[in-house]
Structure 1
Amino acid sequence: MLDEPTRRLCASITAGETGPVRLAVIAPGGYGKSALLDLLATAEGAERHRRGRSAGARLLLVDDAHLLGDDDFAELAEVALDDRVGLVVAARPRPRPAGLTALLGRLRGQIALRPFDRERVRRCLAAATGAALPDAVVDLVLHQTGGIPGLVHRLAPHLRPDTATVPAGAIEDFRFDVDRLAPDTVRVLIAVQAGVGGDAELLAGLVSGPAGEAAEEARATGLLGPDGSVPPLAAAALRELVPADQRDSVLGALADLQLRRGGALLDFAGALLAAGTSGGSAAAVYAAAAEQADPALAVRLHEAAADAGHPVDEVRRAEAEALSGALDSALRRADALLATAGGERRAAAAGVAAAALAHRGQLARSAELYQWSGQGALAAIGLVGVGRLTDARAALDRAATDGPPTLLAGAVSSAARGILASVDGSGPAALSTVVRAAEMLEPVGHDVLLPDSPAALGALLALHTGAGALAEPLLERATAARVGGALLATRHRLLGAWSAMVRGDGTEATAALSEAGTPLSPRDWLFAVGLAVGTARRGSDLAALRRTWEQAYEAVVRHPVDLFTLLPLGEFAVAAARVGDRERFAPHLDQAWDLLHQLGDPPAWTTMLHWSCLHAEIIAEHPAAADDHAAALAANATAGPFHAAVASAASCWRHVLDGEVDPVTVEAAARGLHAVGLCWDAARLAGQAAIRTSDRKAMLSLLDCARMLQGQGTAGQPQEEADRVGARLSERELQVATLVVEGLTYKQIGDRLFISAKTVEHHMARMRARLGATSRSDLLSRLRTALDR
C-alpha cells in the first residue's frame, strides 16, 4: 500500500523506464521495506543480493543492509561504481555500520516509507481480509497501530466486522519480536511508555551504552510511532510479553532517578499507576506526586502510596478527598486525626472536617470546628449563617491576629466582614465588600478547600438584594479560576442557574441543572431540587412540580436551615402551597423565621423570603397572612431600591387579588420588579392583572406589558398575538385558559373567578371546540403556545 509518489517511482523502475537507479530505503522495522523490494524484484533483470551475484543482473536489491558485514559492503561498493547496474539498498536506521554509511554516501536518492493514513489502512485491511471492514474497525486499527504498516498487517488477520477491541491472539503474535529485543531497547521502550523516553538524562542512567544510540535502536524497531510514542497495540504487547519483574525493575530504576532529580513527577506517576507498578521507589513517587496533583488524581496517588506501604500525609489525603467530592471518606479520615494527631496536624484536620461538614449542610458544627482550630474568619461566616451574631463578631475580631496577612486570609476575612455587614443593615456596602473578596481570592483560590467561596456568598447576597446581574459574571470568574476546585464548581454552576431562573431564562437554568451531575453534596442537592421546583413552577408544570415535591421535602429534612439556604426554602414554600402540603413544611419555614429574628430580621435576607411566602399565602388563599408579608415588605422598603420595588409589587398584588386593577400602577410595579432582576415575577404580575380586569383595553395593554417584560419580541408582536387570542376566546375563557395553564384545578379556578367548577368545565369544552384541539393535552399545548406560558 504505497503512497502515490512512491507508487509512480516503483512503476517506472519495474517498467524499465528509468536508467540504473541508486536508491536507499531507510525506515524502521515494519514499514514495508521488504515488501517494496518484492515489488521491485518483478522488474526484468532484478536480483536479490547474495554473495557472487550473476553477471546479467541489471538491478540489485539489498535487504536488511544494517546486518551485513564488511565483505558484503566491499562487494556492494563495486556495484555502486558500475553504471550498468541499478542498486536499491534497504536498511533500518540503526545499527549503522561504517560500511553501510559509506555505501549510502554513494547513492543518489531515497524512497520514503510513511505510516498509513486512514484510507490506506482501509485498503490494506480489505486486501488482507478479502472484505471491506466497517469504519469503526478501521478507526480502531488506526488508533491501535498509529498507521505503522507492520502493525496494521499484524492486526489484520485477527479482525472481524464486529471487532471492538484488540483480540488477545494479536498480542501473542508479538512474542518473538519482543523476545529478541536487546535489553537496552526494552528499557528505552518501557521508559517511553512511562512518558520519559525523550529525557536523555534519565535514559543515560537507565541503559548500559550511550543513551542516544539506545534511543535510536528503539526507534528502529518499528514499535514507536512517528511522534516518538508507543502505539497502543505495541504498548499492550510490551505490557503483556515483557516479564513483570523485568518491567518493574526498569520502572523502579526510573523512579529512583526521578526522585533523586526532583521536579515534576505527575506524568511519570500517572504512567506508573497505569502500569500497576508498586514497590518502594514507585510508592515514593506516588507520595511526592500527590502534592503536585489535582485532587482527584491526588486521592489515587495517596491510595497507591499507602497500599505500597509508604508513609502518607493523612491530613493532605483527607483534604484531597474532600476537594474531589469524597466527603464521607474525608470526614472519616479527618475525624480519626482529630482523635489521634496533635498540634498543627490536629488543627488542619479540624479544618478539613469543618469544610466537609459545611458542604453536607452541617453549618453549625462546621463553624464550631473552625472556631476551635483558630480559623476565625471562616468560623464567623458559619456563625452568622446559623444566627450566632455575637459569637461571629468575636471570632472575626480574633481572626485579625491569626496568621500572616496572605491573599487567602484577606479574602476570607473580607467575605466575613461583608456577610456581617449585610446583617447589620448595610446592604449595598456589604455586597461590594463580598464581591471584592471574591476578586481578591481568584489568583490564589485554585483547589483551596473552603466551606463556601466568596463568589458564592456574593452571588447569594446579590440574588437576595436584586443585584442578580452581578451574580453570573462573579460566578463565571470563580469557575474559570477554579476557586475551591471541583467541590465548589458545582455550587457555582447551580447558583448561576438560579440567577438565570430568576431572570426568566428557564432553558439556561435547566441546562445548567443537567450539567451539575451526580452525586451531589446535600447542600448542592438542596439547591438542585430548588431549581427543579422553581423551573417547574415558572413553567406552570404542575405534574413536574408534584413529581419533584417529595425530593424537595427530603432535601429540607436532610439539610438544616441556615441563612445561605433561604432561596430554595422560599421556592419550597410556594411549592408546598401549590401541592397542598404546607403542614409538613411549616416547621422548617418556622426555623427560617426564627433564625432571621435572631439576626434582627435584616432586610437583605428577609425580603426574598417574605416575597415567596406572600405568594404561598396567595395560592393557599390566606389573605390575612398574605397581608402580613406585604406589610413586612413595606417595612423594608426604605432599605434600598430593590426592597422598595418588591414592596410596591406586593401592595399591587393585594389590590389585584381584590379585583382593583389600575393598569398604570400595575405596569409601574411590574417594571420595577423587572428593573431589579425579578423578570419572571414582573411578567406574571402583569399577566395576572390582565386576566382579572374587566376592561378589555386594560387587559390587552397588560398582556402586552407581560410579554415585553418576559423578553418576547417587539411591542407589536404581543399586541397582535393578544388580539388573535381575544378574537377566538371570550374574556372569561381567556381568564380560565390562563389559570388552567398555571396548573390550577377546576375548583380552584371556580373559587378564583367566583363560578362553579362545572362552569369551568363547560368553558374548557368550548375552548377545545374553538381551537380545534383533539384532546385535553392538545388543548393545554395550544393554550400554552397562545398565551406564551
Structure 2
Amino acid sequence: MNHSTTPRPAPMPDGHAAGLRSAVAADPTASLVAGIQGAGGYGKTVLLEQLARTYRDAGVAVFGTNELARADEGAVLVDDAHRLGETVLGELREIARRPGARLIVAYRPGPRPAALAELIGDLGAPVLLAALGREEIAAQAGWAAPDWIGWLHAQTGGVPRYVSRVLATAEPGTAELPSRALDQFQHDLDQLGEAGSECVTAMAVGATPHPDLLAALLELTPEAVGSALLAIRAGGLVGADDVLLPIARAASLRLTPWELRLRVTRRLVEIQLARGSSVLPLVSPLLGADIALLPESTLAAAFEKAGEEALQSAPHLARRLLAAAVSAGTPPASVAARQARAAAVAGDLDEALRLADQVIVDDSVPDKELGVQVAASVLAHRGLLERSAELCGWSVGRLRWPGDRAFAAVGLIGAGRLGDAEELLRSTDDAGPPTSMTGAAAQLAAGVRESVVGSAATALSTLVRAASLSEPVGRGALVPDSPAAVAALVALHCGELDVVQSTLDKAIGSGSGGPLLHYRHRLLAAWLPLLRGDTVAARAKLPVAELAARDRLLATAIEAGIASRDNDMAALAAARGQARQAVAEHSVDLFNLLPLGELVVATARLRDQDWIAPYLAEARALLDRLGNPPLWTSMLTWKRLQAAVVLEELDEAQQFAGELGGMAHHNPLAAAMADAAGVWLRILAGQVDQDEAERAARALHAAGLAWDGARLAGQAAIRTADRRAMLALLECARALQGKPPRPRAVRGAMSAETDLLSEREKEVAELVLAGLTYKQVGKRLFISAKTVEHHISRIKQRLGCANREDLLNRLRELLGH
C-alpha cells in the first residue's frame, strides 16, 4: 500500500532520553516514531524497557519484531536493529510511514546496512545516548569518595554498563578493577567475531588502531580490519580517540590466552623495530613474566631498545629492561655502559661507578666513552672533582665524547690546577661535530677560566650563554656539572641574584643536566631565600631525598644557615654531626666554597671551629694556587670575617677586612663587603655611626646580601649607647628583612612599655635576643653570668611571662626585633 500522501507521525521534539520518556508518559496513545542510537553498553535496552513499562501501565500493548502484524494495535519497540535482516527492516520502515504509528527503534552507530540507513531516515534525528558524567556516577555509587568516582570514570569512560559492572562487584574505595567485572566482557568480545576480537587483543598489547598496521599484524585484509574497528567502536569499547578504555583493555588482557597475546606482541615488536618506532609500552608488561627469562632474539632486541627509551623518563624501569635484554640473550658487555648510565640516572651511584669501571677496563666492551662519561659524572657528584677531571682528561685523545676536554678543564680549574687546564684547552681537536652540548661545554670552560683570571661580568655572561645553549639537550645530558649550576654559583659569588633565579628556573624547567643534577639545581635555588633571611622559604626548597656527597654538603650548609639565622642553637648543634660528615666526604674545590663559608660561621657560633680549620687551610691553598681570584675569594673571606665577629676576634677581623679591601675593585658585591668590613671593625670597637652603619647595611642589601645587611644594622643597634640611633638602626634592620616599619603610635606604646625596664635590663635583653649566651652577655657588659641571669629573671617577672619562649617573644615585640 502506498502512503506517500498520508500525514506522517511527528518526529521526536527532544534529542535526549528524558524527552522521549516524557513524550511517552504524557500521551501513550499519541503517534510517535523515534530512533535511539548508542554504542553497546550505553543503555538502549534499559531505556526501551522503561518505555515498554510506561506503555503497558497505560494499557497500550507492546510488540516486538515477531509481532509486527499487530503494529496497529499498540506500540512497537525494537532493540538491536543493526542485527535485523532486510525483510524485517523493510517492514519496520513501512510501519514508520503509517499514520498513527507508535514505533521506537534502537540501534548501534555501526556497522549500518543500507536497509537500516533507510529506516533511520524515516525515523528522523535519533535520541543520542551519552556516557555518564562524574555527577551521575556519584549519584549511582552513593557511598564513594570523589577521588574514587574520578578513578571509576577514567576506567570506564562513563559507559553505563561498565559502571554498573564495577559498582556491583567492587570493594568500596578500592581502586582496582574486580575480576568478576572483567570476566563479564567475554560476551562483548564474542559479539565482535574473530577479527574484531583479534583487533582488540592487538590494541590491548599496544598496537595503534590503524587499519594498515592491524592488517599487517593480524594477517587480515584492510576491509576486514575496517569492519572490525567499526564493530569495536559500536560496542563501546573505545573512547573518542579510538583507544581502548582501560577497563576494556584490562578485560582483554585477562580473557585472551597468554600464547595468543605473546604471538601478537612478538609480531608487533618486529614491526615496530623494523619501523624504528617505540617498543617501550609493548614489552614493559612482559617484565617479570617467565617468557622474559627465555632466550629470544626478538624480545632481546625489544628489551634493549625499550631500556634506551626509558632511560630519561623512568631510569629504574630502564635498568630492569636492560637486565631483561641480557636474560633474553643480549650479550652483557653490549649493554654494560647503558646499564651504568641507567644506574646513575636512577641515583644508584655505587652501582653506576662499579659498572662504569668495568666498561673502562674491558677492551671488548663497546660504548667505552659512555662508561667514562658516567664515571666522570658520578665522581663529580660524589665530591671528587679532581678525580673526575683526570678521567675526562684521560679520555681526550683516546676515546673522546662531546665535551670531555671542556669538563676536564673545568674540573682542573675547580681543583686549583689552572696551568694544567689551560694547557689542555690550547689543544684544538674536538670530539665530533659542533653540537649544542660541545658548544655549551666549551663556553662553560671559558666562563670558569674567566671567573678566575678575568672580570665577573664577562665570566657570568659566558656562563649564562652556556646554560642557555645546553637547554635543548635537557634531560638527555649526563655530565659532571651543568652550565646552569656553575653560572648560578658565579652569580651568587658576585651578587647577581636575578641571574641566579632566572638561570635556575630555566634549568629546573627544562631538566637541564638530567635527573642526576636535578637536586643540585634545587639546592642552589634555596640559597636565594637564605641570603634574604627567609628561612621558611629556604627550608621549603630543601629536597626530602637521599643525596650524594656534593648535594648533601649543599643541603647541610643550608640547614646550618637556617638554624643560624633563626638563632636556633639546638638545630645548629644537631646539624654539626651532619656537617662534619658532609665536609669529610667532599674534597675541597672551587665550587664548594659557598657551603664551606656558611659552615665556618655556624661553627663559630657553636664555638666548635677547630674541626673545620684543616678544610679552610685547603681552601686557602687552592685559592693561592689560582692567584686568589677576587670573585671566588671574597665571599669566603667575608664569611671568615663574620665568624671573627661572632667570636669577637678583632685581630682576625682586621686581617680579613684588609683582604676584602684589596678585592673591592672586582665587582659591586666585593666593594660592598669591603666597605661593610670596615664598619664592622668600628662596631666591634664600640664606635657606632648611625649613618655609616645604615649606608653599609643598605649597600650589602643592594649587592645581594640582604640578611647580612640586616644583621649589621641590628648589631650596630645593640652596640650603640644612643637610644635614638638604636631605634633607627632597628627600623633599618626591619626594612632590610622586608618587614614594614612600625607605625609611630605602636613605637610610642612600645617605648612606654620598655620604660618598665632599666637601661641595663634593655642592654641585657638586646644581647640575649641577638643570640648571645649569659656568659657572652656578661663579658660584653663586664658583669658576671649570674648577674645576667638575675636580670633576665626580673625582666620575666615584670613582663608577666610564664616561660623563656614567652619572654623572648615579648622582648622581640617590645624592642622591635
- TM-score norm. by structure 2 comes to 0.88
Shift of 1:290: 4.6
On the 8 A contact 1:20/1:59 being kept in 2, the answer is no
On the 8 A contact 1:286/1:302 being kept in 2, the answer is no
Structure 2 residue ranges without an equivalent (≥5): 1-13, 397-403
On the 8 A contact 1:377/1:399 being kept in 2, the answer is no
Q: How do residues 440-479 of structure 1 correspond to structure 2 at under 5 angstroms? A: 440-479=469-508
Partner of 1:483: 512
On the 8 A contact 1:357/1:365 being kept in 2, the answer is yes
* Aligned counterpart in structure 2 of residue 756 of structure 1, from 784, 790, 796: 784
Partner of 1:322: 344
Partner of 2:771: 743
User: Are residues 1:664 and 2:691 paired?
Assistant: yes
* Aligned counterpart in structure 1 of residue 161 of structure 2, from 140, 150, 155: 150
Aligned partners of 1:277 and 1:107: how far apart in 2? 54
On the 8 A contact 2:751/2:814 being kept in 1, the answer is no
* Aligned counterpart in structure 2 of residue 439 of structure 1, from 458, 461, 468: 468
SS at match of 2:410: helix
Partner of 1:41: 52
Over 3 Å counting, the alpha-carbon distance change for 1:236 and 1:264 in structure 2 is closer
Shift of 1:755: 1.9
Q: Which moved more, 1:340-349 or 1:602-611?
A: 340-349
| Matching residue's letter, 1:68 | L
Over 3 Å counting, the alpha-carbon distance change for 1:637 and 1:8 in structure 2 is closer
Over 3 Å counting, the alpha-carbon distance change for 1:771 and 1:750 in structure 2 is same
Shift of 1:56: 5.3
Partner of 1:534: 561
Q: Which moved more, 1:558-567 or 1:643-652?
A: 643-652
Partner of 2:276: 262
Aligned partners of 1:604 and 1:721: how far apart in 2? 47
| Matching residue's letter, 1:83 | P
On the 8 A contact 1:387/1:598 being kept in 2, the answer is yes
Q: Which moved more, 1:106-115 or 1:375-384?
A: 106-115
| Matching residue's letter, 1:438 | A
SS at match of 1:205: helix
Q: How do residues 583-594 of structure 1 correspond to structure 2 at under 5 angstroms? A: 583-594=610-621
SS at match of 1:41: helix
Q: Which moved more, 1:48-57 or 1:613-622?
A: 48-57
| Matching residue's letter, 1:566 | L
Q: Identity rate of aligned residues, in percent?
A: 43
Q: Which moved more, 1:758-767 or 1:440-449?
A: 440-449
Q: Which moved more, 1:709-718 or 1:577-586?
A: 709-718
On the 8 A contact 1:541/1:742 being kept in 2, the answer is no
Over 3 Å counting, the alpha-carbon distance change for 1:701 and 1:134 in structure 2 is closer
User: Are residues 1:709 and 2:723 paired?
Assistant: no
| Matching residue's letter, 2:270 | D
SS at match of 1:90: strand
Shift of 1:134: 4.9
Q: How do residues 297-376 of structure 1 correspond to structure 2 at under 5 angstroms? A: 297=314, 300-301=317-318, 303-308=320-325, 309=328, 311=330, 313-341=335-363, 345-374=367-396, 375-376=404-405
On the 8 A contact 2:71/2:95 being kept in 1, the answer is no
Aligned partners of 1:416 and 1:722: how far apart in 2? 57
On the 8 A contact 1:690/1:703 being kept in 2, the answer is yes
On the 8 A contact 2:443/2:463 being kept in 1, the answer is yes
SS at match of 1:25: strand
SS at match of 1:259: helix
Over 3 Å counting, the alpha-carbon distance change for 1:767 and 1:189 in structure 2 is farther
Shift of 1:232: 2.9
Partner of 1:557: 584
Q: Which moved more, 1:446-455 or 1:381-390?
A: 446-455
SS at match of 1:680: helix
On the 8 A contact 1:465/1:604 being kept in 2, the answer is yes
* Aligned counterpart in structure 1 of residue 673 of structure 2, from 646, 662, 676: 646
Shift of 1:66: 2.4
* Aligned counterpart in structure 2 of residue 112 of structure 1, from 100, 103, 128: 128
| Matching residue's letter, 2:258 | A
Q: Which moved more, 1:482-491 or 1:90-99?
A: 90-99
User: Are residues 1:230 and 2:244 paired?
Assistant: yes
User: Are residues 1:168 and 2:185 paired?
Assistant: no
Which deviations, in whole Å up to 9, do the C-alpha atoms of 1:660-684 show, x marking residues without a partner?
Answer: 2122222222222222111111111
Partner of 2:796: 768
Which deviations, in whole Å up to 9, do the C-alpha atoms of 1:171-219 show, x marking residues without a partner?
Answer: 3343444455533223332344455434333123234242221111112
| Matching residue's letter, 1:694 | A
Q: How do residues 141-290 of structure 1 correspond to structure 2 at under 5 angstroms? A: 141-159=152-170, 161=172, 163-178=174-189, 181-194=192-205, 196-207=207-218, 208-209=220-221, 210=223, 211-263=225-277, 278=292, 280-290=297-307
| Matching residue's letter, 2:45 | S
| Matching residue's letter, 2:766 | T
Shift of 1:532: 0.9
On the 8 A contact 2:410/2:445 being kept in 1, the answer is yes
Aligned partners of 1:401 and 1:67: how far apart in 2? 71
Shift of 1:491: 1.3
Q: Which moved more, 1:718-727 or 1:198-207?
A: 718-727
Aligned partners of 2:246 and 2:214: how far apart in 1? 22
On the 8 A contact 1:691/1:734 being kept in 2, the answer is no
What count of residue pairs does the alignment treat as equivalent?
A: 780
Aligned partners of 2:321 and 2:194: how far apart in 1? 28
Over 3 Å counting, the alpha-carbon distance change for 1:300 and 1:162 in structure 2 is closer
Shift of 1:36: 1.3
Q: How do residues 23-42 of structure 1 correspond to structure 2 at under 5 angstroms? A: 23-42=34-53
Over 3 Å counting, the alpha-carbon distance change for 1:592 and 1:338 in structure 2 is same
On the 8 A contact 2:734/2:741 being kept in 1, the answer is no
Which deviations, in whole Å up to 9, do the C-alpha atoms of 1:538-597 show, x marking residues without a partner?
Answer: 121212212222111111111111111011111111111222322222222222222222
Over 3 Å counting, the alpha-carbon distance change for 1:136 and 1:412 in structure 2 is closer
Aligned partners of 2:230 and 2:737: how far apart in 1? 68
SS at match of 2:314: helix
Partner of 2:662: 635
Which deviations, in whole Å up to 9, do the C-alpha atoms of 1:32-78 show, x marking residues without a partner?
Answer: 11111111212112222215643653211112222233443344344
Q: How do residues 591-740 of structure 1 correspond to structure 2 at under 5 angstroms? A: 591-714=618-741, 723=751, 726-727=754-755, 729-740=757-768
On the 8 A contact 1:66/1:97 being kept in 2, the answer is yes
Shift of 1:352: 1.6
Partner of 1:129: none
* Aligned counterpart in structure 2 of residue 8 of structure 1, from 19, 38, 41: 19
Aligned partners of 1:722 and 1:317: how far apart in 2? 67
Q: Which moved more, 1:354-363 or 1:70-79?
A: 70-79
Q: Which moved more, 1:27-36 or 1:704-713?
A: 704-713
Query: What is the root-mean-square deviation of aligned Cα atoms in Å?
Result: 3.0
Over 3 Å counting, the alpha-carbon distance change for 1:730 and 1:234 in structure 2 is farther
Q: Which moved more, 1:694-703 or 1:48-57?
A: 48-57
Q: Which moved more, 1:595-604 or 1:212-221?
A: 595-604
Partner of 2:809: 781
* Aligned counterpart in structure 1 of residue 30 of structure 2, from 11, 19, 31: 19
Q: How do residues 47-66 of structure 1 correspond to structure 2 at under 5 angstroms? A: 47-50=63-66, 53-54=69-70, 57-66=73-82
Structure 1 residue ranges without an equivalent (≥5): 127-131
Over 3 Å counting, the alpha-carbon distance change for 1:730 and 1:496 in structure 2 is farther
Shift of 1:108: 2.4
